[in-house]
Amino acid sequence: MRTSCIVFAVLICCVVWFLPTPAISFQNEPKGFRDIEWASNISGLAGMSVFFSQRDIKLCSRKADKMAIGDAVLDKIVYVFYKDQLTGIIISFHSLSTFQALKGTLFEQYGEGEQSDPLKEKYFWAGETTIIRLDLTPVSYEGTLSFRSRALLIQQQIDEQEKAGAKGNL
133 touches 124 (CB < 8 A): yes
What pTM was estimated for this model as a whole?
Answer: 0.82
Which whole number is the average pLDDT over 115-126?
92
Hey, is 115 helix, strand or coil? coil
pLDDT at 164: 83
14 found inside a domain = no
CA distances to 40, 103, 166, 169 from 132, in Å: 18, 12, 32, 36
Least confident of 17-26, 27-36, 116-125: 17-26
80 found inside a domain = yes
5 found inside a domain = no
96 found inside a domain = yes
What is the distance between the alpha carbons of residues 79 and 146, in angstroms, rounded to a whole number? 10
**Domain range for 104:** 35-168
85 found inside a domain = yes
28 found inside a domain = no
Q: What is the DSSP letter of 47?
A: T
At 55-112, the pLDDT tens digits run 999 999 998 899 999 999 999 999 999 999 999 999 999 999 999 999 999 999 999 9
- Number of structural domains (the chain) is 1
CATH number at residue 139: 3.40.1000
16 found inside a domain = no
Query: Which residue in 101, 129, 124 sits closest to 114, CA to CA?
Result: 124
